[in-house]
Structure 1
């Protein structure tokens, strides 16, 4: 019996492996787009100056937008499992 030597490459740490993953990159991009979209929606719908806006409301709108971006890329239908 002959055995081949198994060569294992160094893959880097967890963050480097995640950043190389195309699905993770797509998720981050969609979350950023959703966060910007949430802020723009809040800014347009409220019709007030940015320096008068409550910080909590801005953070909430950005968070909801980022969640929608996350949901769009990670929902079962987005991954072809409907």
Structure 2
């Protein structure tokens, strides 16, 4: 499933626009809320990119998209010993 940012805010904004015949003046609050959400999303993406470039391991939603450097850091931090019986 895709992680779509600000989808809820965008839906509310478009519903308001449709209700008010696409007059932006009547939906200024909804537009401002959407723009704020979008700007926050952009800032979060920038921070995530900076963390990735610095080599800091980022877990969570993007855990499957680890770089080789990050993966090696995790494997070194949590070594797996295979004992033969």
TM-score between the two structures when normalised by the length of structure 2: 0.36
TM-score between the two structures when normalised by the length of structure 1: 0.37
The structure with higher relative contact order (CA 8 Å, sep 6+) is 1
